[in-house]
Amino acid sequence: MPGRAGAYQPQPGGYRAFIPAPLPPDPPVRLEGPLQALLSQADRALGRLDGSVQTLPNPDLFVFMYVRKEAVLSSQIEGTQSSLQDLLAAEANLIGPEAKARPLDVAGVVNYVRAMNYGLARLADLPVSVRLIREIHGKLIDGVRGSHLTPGELRRSQNWIGPAGCTLGEATFIPPPPDLVPHALGELESFLHADSGLPLLVQVGLAHAQFETIHPFLDGNGRAGRLLITLLLCERGVLLKPVLYLSHYFKRHRQQYYDRLQAVRDQGDWEGWLGFFLSGVAEVSSEATETARRVLLMREEHRAAIAAHLGRAAGNGHRVLETLFDRPILSVSTVETITGTTYAAANSLVARLTDIGVLAEITGNARNRRFRYEPYVRLFSDD
């Protein structure tokens, strides 16, 4: 139904920009038949994911990698080449042959992690709002590619979406002109705070699509919009921890992701977008639940191996193992600090953890070696 999500209006420059209608859609979203079934499936899968993470011995230890996987995948959708391995290496101050992405790409993903953690912490004092989105955007592109495009500031010029290098006249989609952006975002914020009577996942799906249509910044809109999904789910208590890497689904079906968003604008097909979005929530929630199960199983296997093979050093081995869940790359000096032992004892412990398959040396150096919790990282590296 053209016009249901808004309308294209001519602008002084001779182009037509899209002016979004406020949410919720009118006529209302038809939650029936296949869409209702998808909503039920997504709700159940998300509930199982949240429950599975809460059964882990220390959920916060396992959140570390979920957040980083989402950061890498969301950034890859925008064309960055950095991998999970690159991000972990950068966070461990290890940029070398095993970190093949360009430094700005890696820095951008590091920023995504910081932005997510910042946003989650801010939820204690500030609801999801235009103010919070602007603060998060400032963290996203500060000091990286696009940072000259006013981090945290709403755009004051017209932007557009299309193939690389295309002109305004060749654009696939032109968002609303800059003078309408504050009002459109204000309407989106009102929708988020109002009691629309819509199921939460439907509300989140609508909000993400609307944000991408408004495209309020000169750069970083896709990443900010995907962060919005996580923040809304955590703010509303559907997820107690940010363990849904929905960008995995968006990247896997990238063209369909863009096509579904565009179909909302051109045809008012909110139901088609929501079907795609809810399918993604269900699919990725189930995958993440399986990952949580495998993490728990792997942890118990490694605890057993340490107890069986490290003798009197088993206590220190367990301390290192628990540290690896939020610091999966470390050095012998780091192990020395963790265990409070001598460098020689730490070096011996690292060698024994390597022998039983917990650690793997990743630099190939004789000095300044780094070791990675390879089995753990591998669980999250399968794209």
Do 45 and 285 meet the contact criterion of CB atoms below 8 Å apart? yes
Do 96 and 222 meet the contact criterion of CB atoms below 8 Å apart? no
pLDDT tens digits, one per residue of 204-249: 999 999 999 999 999 999 999 999 999 999 999 999 889 888 999 9
For residue 347, what pLDDT band results from cuts at 50, 70 and 90?
Answer: very high
DSSP codes joined into one string, 13-41: TS-EEEEEPPSSPSSPP---THHHHHHHH
- Domains in the chain, please, with CATH? 9-16+26-287 (1.10.3290.10), 310-381 (1.10.10.10)
Question: Which residues 6+ apart lie within 8 Å of 349 measured at CB?
Answer: 310, 313, 316, 317, 320, 335, 339, 341
Closest C-alpha among 194, 159, 195 to residue 176:
159
pLDDT tens digits, one per residue of 312-340: 999 999 999 999 998 899 999 999 999 99
Closest C-alpha among 129, 132, 127 to residue 116:
132
- 8: part of which helix (H) or strand (E)? strand 6-10
Do 206 and 28 meet the contact criterion of CB atoms below 8 Å apart? no
The residue type at 131 = R
The residue type at 350 = V
Per the structure block, which two tokens stand in for 103? 């430094």
pLDDT tens digits, one per residue of 88-130: 888 877 544 444 444 557 888 889 999 999 999 999 999 999 9
Asked whether residue 203 carries a pLDDT value surpassing 90, the answer given is yes
Rounded to whole angstroms, the Cα distance separating 3 from 189 reads 21
Q: What is the pLDDT of residue 104?
A: 57
Q: Rounded to a whole number, what is the distance in angstroms from the first to the last CA of the chain?
A: 36
For residue 298, what pLDDT band results from cuts at 50, 70 and 90?
Answer: very high
What is the average pLDDT value for the chain, to the nearest integer? 90
Closest C-alpha among 343, 339, 338, 342 to residue 369:
343
Q: Report DSSP state, residue 132.
A: H
Question: Which residues 6+ apart lie within 8 Å of 128 measured at CB?
Answer: 192, 228, 231, 232, 235
Rounded to whole angstroms, the Cα distance separating 19 from 22 reads 10
Do 189 and 130 meet the contact criterion of CB atoms below 8 Å apart? yes
DSSP β-ladder status, 329-330 and 371-372: antiparallel
